[in-house]
Amino acid sequence: MSDELKEHIYNSMADREKMIRAGKNGYPDAIIEVAKVLRDCLSQGGKIMLCGNGGSAADCQHFAAEMIVRLTARVERAAISAVALTTDSSILTAAGNDYGFDHVFARQVQGVGRKGDVLIAISTSGNSENIIKALEAASLKGITRVGLLGGKGGKCIEHCDYSITVPGDSTMRIQEEHTFILHTIAELTEKLALEEA
């Protein structure tokens, strides 16, 4: 068992090292670019929306909480406008019942999304149909689309204005990196927003 645990830890460390070494147009540049996109959205009165399924839904809620409340007790700042489209059970079940599960996020984007907002769509496969439909709905409303994806990006990557894709086929490995990336984006967005204030 201890050998399996060590392998798990080493694999996670190797994935993180690949991110650091990605260089120009790799993870570091993409993360900084997305943070600037979020800063620009917020400075113009827009909001950040997030959608994802399963563990990715939890990531959406985690990120939104850090924006609304705070990332760390070291930095006191105003709430940042963010909403996870994964939390309202009445909307999710009504949309799922009336239109099908593929539309549970798209209906919310259509209802609360505004031009100038940003949608962060999280999918480890990049092929979740309800995420694709949310990205399509965002496009029609002039909402900037950011994909946090896995593998080769799947079908979602074609519908994103910006994307960060974690390679590989292990869902849990991809989710681990997504959490790291979201924490980094949150920290950079907060820093950029405070610099502009």
Each residue of 124-165: pLDDT tens digit? 999 999 999 999 999 999 999 999 999 999 999 999 999 999
What are the residue ranges in the chain where pLDDT is below 70?
1, 15-16, 18-26, 197
Q: Strands, DSSP E only, in 8-143?
A: 48-52, 82-84, 118-123
Report the C-alpha gap between 55 and 21 in whole angstroms.
Answer: 27
Cβ contact 49:116 at 8 Å: no
The per-residue pLDDT for 90 is: 98
Superfamily of domain 2-196: Glucose-6-phosphate isomerase like protein; domain 1 (3.40.50.10490)
Give residue limits of the domains in the chain: 2-196
- Is the pTM here over 0.75, yes or no? yes
The per-residue pLDDT for 20 is: 65
The per-residue pLDDT for 122 is: 98
Distances (CA, A) of 18 to 26, 39, 60, 154: 10, 26, 24, 20
